[in-house]
Structure 1
Amino acid sequence: MKDSQVVYDFVSLAIESGGWMRLDRVYLQNKIAEMIGCGEIVDTRNQISNLSTEELCHSLVKIAKKNKPDCYQTDKDIEFLSQSLMDILTPPPSVVNAMFAKKFETSAVEATNYFYWLNQVSGYISGEEHEYDSEEEGICPICFCNEGVFVHESDYLKKTRRFIRLNLENESWGYQLNPTKKEVEEGIFFTEAHTYLFMNDYLLDRMTDIVSLYKHYELRYSSSNSFKGHSYLIGRRPQKNRLVNCHQTLPFFKDSLLSYNKLGQQELVVQTTHAKDLWLIVSYVFSLTVSLKKGLYATDFEYDLLKSDNTYQLIITIKDDSREKSKENWQHTIELLTNELEVRY
């Protein structure tokens, strides 16, 4: 394929992605031609190929290495060029957020489908997993201020990184996709402030806000999910029939149910139609063993929240790598909970 054809096709995809208009074609072609040391671009509008953005970008890099060998010698130089090309193809943050918001008005699923597609086309989702950044860089890969920052061999810090701005109860949050997960859509939700989040009423309130907006996501909090002290939540599309059949009533919490197994089951499911009751129920369960000095640490658990219609389900699961003492205390808590409910109610 001629060099002109590769440039023309790449620009066509850049316009198709929504960040540019047809009026920008000549400007973009000249810009890319300068980057890769290509001569005059011949009009090839009737010969568009079917190569993917990744294949076209790879071809442009090969052309640049041939035409400007002194400029692109190291792996870092080549990666920088590749990301600079893909950054041209990716719409700027303002356009991405506007298009996402427009689609969100119709459907949250349609909006996240668009965002997933864009992240694949831009090459941000690679499916590869390295160290997200080196210690000497000291850069948080999910902070707002690092959008578009390039770090060599980083999974997250790329020129093509885009995230969606969220307003949750007048607090600024962000939503982006996990670049190491190519086969499945995995969202990441994080605060604008570089903050470590603990499981408490504040966090559960924000989690209920998110699943109320993104009802097709199951949201997970784990104390281990953080970058340099900046916590994040993981959003995934739940498995079919993920909702647990809860049967144990809680008379002191209206319209609330529990599900658990006293014979060694690792998880407890809290179901309620009142979001504010979630933390009260969790606090009640965790307080059962305090007087016996068999307390529980919130960091030993993972918390999955999902919403179906007007019902919330919070699945509390003790981590496999938790200390044996914690597992024993959790089992004792389930036993006490069973006795408490059976005796009183």
Structure 2
Amino acid sequence: MTNYVDLALTYGGFTNLDRVYLENKLAQLSNDQKLAFITPPPSVINAYFAEIYQKQSPQAATDYYFDLSKNLALFTKKPSFDEDKPFIRLNLSGKAYGFVYENDNEEAVVFAENEEVIEDSLLFEIAQIFPHYKVYVEGTAIKMRKIDFSEEVLEDLTPATSLLSHVTKLKGNLIKISSFNQEELLELAQHFSGGKYYAYKDREVILYLKK
């Protein structure tokens, strides 16, 4: 049985001094109403997220929001800026975006306030903000989640003319292109096919192509 008072004390910004007040208020509400009552407003969630991101790490920030989403039933597959449920706001290339988790597999969807063209530069920007996730496009949606690809190198495919990039064939039918120059990476990627997964590590943009 869900203990909504404990959830409120853990995630809702309430303290033990509020326990009796919470018990009285929550006793009158349905389960959905209880969750709505104890869920912090978007401004509070975003403030906590930003503070954790800056003071701890991107992963600590997403861990906080994922944990919150699981426990307060904030998962949604069709997010929008109508904000039926709170989401994390992002400023990407000067435009308003947000992200939410859509399930308990820690799969997130990034969405725009207004319809925008999905470009490689946008996907790399998201990957740089959340370097512990792989970013990819599924249908018309931008997704991100933790994906562990094998880094076992089977063959070095780096052209002799590449000064800032490295191309390798990895175990698992993967091509990995890493580079300090995004334009050079994208030029190299034209020679390969497969599903694209965008990543960022140690100041390099990374593209995995999986056949």
Aligned to 1:307: 200
1:235 to 144, 152, 160: 144
Unaligned 5+ runs, structure 1:
36-80, 127-131, 133-140, 149-160, 225-230, 287-295, 319-345
RMSD: 3.1
**Structure 2 gap segments, 5+ residues each:** none
Q: Distance in 2 between matches of 1:22 and 1:86?
A: 18
Matches within 5 A, 1:43-192: 81-105=30-54, 106-125=56-75, 141-145=78-82, 147-148=83-84, 161-179=85-103, 182=104, 184-192=105-113
Which residue number in structure 1 is paired with residue 180 of structure 2? 273
Question: Take 1:244 and 1:170, find their aligned partners in 2: how far apart are those partners?
Answer: 38
* Residue equivalent to 1:19: 13
- Would you tell me which structure has more helix in proportion to its own residues? 1
1:88 is displaced (CA, Å) by: 1.7
TM-score normalized with structure 1 length: 0.53
User: Partner of 2:114: helix, strand, or coil?
Assistant: coil
Q: Deviations over 1:233-265 (max 9, x none)?
A: 22122316447566222344422122359xxx9
| Length-normalised TM-score, structure 2 | 0.81
Q: Distance in 1 between matches of 2:41 and 2:174?
A: 43
Contact 1:243-1:313 within 8 A present in 2 as well: no
| C-alpha contact (below 8 Å) 2:7/2:71 kept by paired residues | no
After superposition, the C-alpha distances for 1:278-300 in whole angstroms (9 at most, x for unaligned) are 33333x437xxxxxxxxx8xxxx
Indicate if the aligned counterparts of 1:246 and 1:257 stay in contact, CA closer than 8 A: no
**Any conservation in 1 of the 2:158–2:168 contact (CA below 8 Å)?**
no
1:187-266 to 2 correspondences below 5 Å: 187-195=108-116, 197-198=117-118, 203-222=119-138, 224=139, 231-239=140-148, 241-242=150-151, 247-260=156-169
State percent identity of aligned pairs.
26
Q: Secondary structure at the match of 2:191?
A: helix
User: Which structure shows the higher strand fraction?
Assistant: 2
**Relative to 1, partners in 2 of residues 1:123 and 1:215: Cα closer, same or farther, differing over 3 Å?**
same
TM-superposed CA distance for 1:217, in Å, is 0.8
What's the offset of the Cα at 1:25? Answer: 4.5
Residue by residue over 1:20-60, the C-alpha shift from the partner in whole angstroms, topping out at 9 and shown as x without a partner, is: 3556555543432333xxxxxxxxxxxxxxxxxxxxxxxxx
Structure showing greater Rg:
1
- Three-state SS of the structure 2 residue aligned to 1:249 is coil
